[in-house]
């Protein structure tokens, strides 16, 4: 197992073809992808229902065989009830600041369970709210769309929010940007200080997902 690297593109498997997801993950790993993003939605915190812990475990079997990482983004109410179920498969878990009244405690639990601890932040939440939790964070997941669906438009406040987060976080805490990432939108958040880029539809809905991944991965490293 490994932790998330810097300047990585994480394909979001929610956007994969559900009938071909294993083959698509294998193709992306052949092209160099090592970290994969798993969007977990409960139809309460967000208006959609997606992947569960069995899926994360099956993905982990493939990804860990090549020393890759599974990054689980919990878009669920009361994430405390679900962290343990995902921790066995996950290398990193982000919980939403807006979803739990005790994020400090839960970030500590995620670390105790052996995962990198991330705090996901909706576009409408002030960035300053992460400051009291900075010591507990391995990464912040800044949403550049309102979570719930892939294929939504990038909200243009994201680059300034990345810069604001970079200014208040310790250097070791990475910044992930999730939602609306493509070759047009990535450079601005990268230049503002983002390290990790989640891409769903830009990879899996492209005519050639592997080629699209390669293009985004090169941009991430520029």
Q: Which residues make up the interface to ligand DX5 (CB under 6 A)? A: 12, 14-15, 37, 39, 73, 145, 147-152, 178-181, 198-202
CA distance 159 to 39: 22
**Which of the choices ligand DX5, Zn ion, none does residue 148 contact, using the CB cut-off of 5 to 8 A by kind?**
ligand DX5
In terms of CB distance, is 99 or 167 closer to ligand DX5? 99
For the CB of residue 94, give the shortest distance to Zn ion in the complex, in Å.
Answer: 8
CA distance 85 to 113: 10
For the CB of residue 121, give the shortest distance to ligand DX5 in the complex, in Å.
Answer: 12
Q: With binding defined as CB under 5 A, does residue 190 bind Zn ion?
A: no
In terms of CB distance, is 110 or 120 closer to ligand DX5? 120
Q: With binding defined as CB under 5 A, does residue 73 bind Zn ion?
A: yes
In terms of CB distance, is 39 or 195 closer to Zn ion? 39
In terms of CB distance, is 71 or 138 closer to ligand DX5? 71
For the CB of residue 190, give the shortest distance to ligand DX5 in the complex, in Å.
Answer: 15
In terms of CB distance, is 130 or 201 closer to ligand DX5? 201
| Catalytic (active-site) positions | 39, 178
For the CB of residue 75, give the shortest distance to Zn ion in the complex, in Å.
Answer: 7
Pick the closest to residue 164 from 120, 197, 131 (CA basis): 131
Using the CB atoms, write b or e for 3-19: b if 16+ within 10 Å: ebeeebbbbbbbbbeee
Binding mask 135-174 for Zn ion (x = CB under 5 A): ----------------------------------------
For the CB of residue 198, give the shortest distance to Zn ion in the complex, in Å.
Answer: 5
Q: How many CB atoms lie within 10 A of CB 218?
A: 11
3-state secondary structure of 99: coil
Locate the DSSP E strands across the chain.
8-11, 35-41, 69-75, 92-96, 116-121, 139-143, 174-178, 196-199
Cβ-proximal residues to 103 (8 Å cutoff; 6+ apart), any chain = 95, 97, 119, 133, 136
Q: Are 101 and 68 in contact (CB under 8 A)?
A: no
CA distance 86 to 79: 10
> Which residues would be at the binding site for Zn ion (CB under 5 A)?
39, 73, 178
């Amino acid at each position: 197992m490994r932790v998330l690297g810097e300047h990585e593109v994480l394909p979001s498997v929610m956007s994969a073809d559900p009938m071909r997801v294993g083959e698509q993950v294998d193709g992306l790993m052949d092209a160099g992808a090592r970290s994969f993003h798993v969007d977990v939605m409960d139809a309460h915190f967000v208006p959609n229902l997606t992947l569960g812990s069995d899926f994360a475990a099956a993905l982990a079997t493939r990804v860990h065989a090549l020393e890759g990482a599974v990054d689980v983004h919990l878009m669920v109410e009361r994430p405390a009830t679900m962290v343990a179920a995902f921790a066995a498969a996950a290398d990193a878990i982000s919980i939403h600041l807006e979803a739990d009244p005790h994020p400090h405690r839960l970030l500590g639990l995620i670390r105790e369970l052996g995962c990198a601890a991330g705090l996901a932040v909706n576009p409408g939440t002030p960035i300053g709210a992460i400051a009291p939790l900075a010591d507990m964070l391995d990464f912040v997941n800044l949403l550049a769309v309102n979570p719930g669906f892939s294929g939504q438009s990038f909200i243009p406040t994201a680059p300034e929010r990345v810069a604001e987060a970079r200014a208040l976080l310790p250097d070791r805490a990475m910044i992930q940007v999730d939602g609306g990432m493509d070759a047009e939108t990535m450079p601005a958040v990268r230049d503002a200080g983002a390290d990790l880029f989640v891409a769903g539809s830009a990879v899996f809905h492209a005519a050639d997902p592997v080629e699209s991944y390669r293009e985004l991965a090169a941009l991430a490293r520029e």
